[in-house]
């Protein structure tokens, strides 16, 4: 009997989700959503588990959220998976994190291909272990012609470094006569960043109650709507994601237009 109730609940909540998605799709969908997936360590500590258990649970949420983003018709989902500052963590934790891309892709690359997702990476390839890079490059290669959701992983990414690298590149191009002082503007500068070819995010989500940017897409977030929640990333789900999208749509209705 109890099993029957559980099944009914599950069916009901998934039909609620369908209805919510249909309502949301009638209004403006953000083209690019960026997410700072914070709170995995805290989630684990609360349960007396090692931090890596939080990261593993967080990985399952990545699947949930990328699938619903695709369903909503969001064009790009950028996920902050590993920052350049994260190297300072204990070696065992870093080693574990560096295995997650291949774990994820082993399990879900066929599904990503099936769902027409294009995998991309934004960040420095330097310092990444060979096994991490190989898995990523295989996924990027095998999904490069897909034209559904762009699933963009920020990995070994830091925005100040990104900006410095862009400036260095511009100095080199200037020396080579490819660009001059008059040729530089916001649009051209954007093309030197790691997010080139992507529009700026329309919406930034950060979980776990921290209200800061932590060196994430400083240039690109200039006009972005921010949405923060106390929910820890491993507890995040489709319903919370829809809360964020609905709030975005309310703000658009209030302030969009003239
Ligand atoms: C990572 C799980 C999510 C919470 C935040 C930190 C831990 C998925 C990936 C991933 C990356 C590239 C790719 C496929 C999957 C990942 C890292 C950490 C480093 F092509 N989750 N996840 N990568 N976490």
The verdict on whether 86 is a catalytic residue reads yes
| Among 238, 210, 255, 246, residue whose Cα is nearest residue 28 | 246
Give ligand 1 pocket residues (Cβ under 6 A).
37, 40, 55, 58-59, 62, 81-82, 97, 100-101, 104-105, 119, 136, 139, 153, 155, 233
Separation of 156 CA from ligand 1 center, angstroms? 11
pTM value is 0.95
State pLDDT tens for residues 57-82. Answer: 999 999 999 999 999 999 999 999 99
The Cα–Cα gap between 252 and 200 comes to: 16
Q: Are 232 and 53 in contact (CB under 8 A)?
A: no
CA separation, residue 188 to residues 176, 185, 199, 212 (Å)? 16, 5, 13, 27
Domain-embedded: residue 35? yes
Residue 7 pLDDT greater than 90, yes or no: no
Number of domains in the chain: 1
Report pLDDT for 254: 67
Residue 183: the pLDDT is: 95
Indicate if the pLDDT at residue 110 is higher than 90.
yes
98 CA closest ligand 1 atom index: 19
Do the Cβ atoms of 246 and 223 come closer than 8 Å? no
> In the chain, what percentage of residues exceed pLDDT 90?
91
Mark whether 230 is an active-site residue: no
What CATH number is attached to the domain comprising 140? 3.40.1180.10
The answer to whether 119 touches 149, Cβ cutoff 8 Å, is no
Which residue, among 200, 193, 254, 244, has the nearest Cα to 222 in the 3D structure?
200
Q: Which helix (H) or strand (E) covers residue 98, if one does?
A: helix 91-114
pLDDT of res. 8: 87
181 lies in some domain: no
List Cα–Cα distances, 57 to 62, 77, 88, 120, 156, in angstroms: 9, 19, 22, 22, 20
Residue 255 lies in a domain: no
Question: What range defines the domain where residue 123 resides?
Answer: 29-158+200-228+244-249
């Amino acid at each position: 009997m109890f099993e029957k109730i559980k099944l009914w609940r599950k069916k009901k909540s998934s039909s609620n989700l369908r209805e919510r998605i249909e309502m949301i799709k009638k209004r403006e969908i953000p083209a690019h959503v960026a997410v700072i997936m914070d709170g995995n360590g805290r989630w684990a500590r609360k349960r007396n588990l090692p931090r890596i258990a939080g990261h593993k649970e967080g990985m399952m949420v990545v699947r949930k959220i990328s699938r619903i983003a695709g369903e909503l018709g969001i064009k790009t989902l950028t996920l902050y998976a590993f920052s350049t500052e994260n190297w300072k963590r204990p070696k065992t934790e870093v080693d574990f994190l560096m295995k997650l891309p291949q774990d994820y892709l082993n399990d879900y690359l066929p599904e990503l291909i099936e769902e027409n997702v294009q995998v991309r990476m934004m960040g420095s390839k330097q310092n990444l272990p060979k096994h991490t890079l190989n898995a990523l490059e295989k996924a990027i290669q095998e999904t490069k012609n897909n034209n559904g959701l762009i699933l963009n992983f920020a990995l070994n990414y830091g925005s100040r470094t990104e900006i410095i690298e862009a400036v260095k590149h511009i100095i080199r191009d200037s020396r080579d006569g490819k660009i001059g002082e008059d040729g530089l503007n916001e649009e051209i500068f954007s093309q030197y960043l790691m997010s080139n070819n992507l529009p700026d995010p329309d919406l930034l989500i950060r979980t776990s109650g921290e209200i800061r940017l932590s060196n994430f897409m400083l240039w690109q977030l200039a006009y972005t709507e921010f949405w923060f929640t106390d929910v820890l990333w491993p507890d995040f789900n489709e319903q919370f994601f829809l809360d964020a999208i609905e709030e975005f749509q309310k703000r658009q209705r209030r302030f969009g237009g003239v």
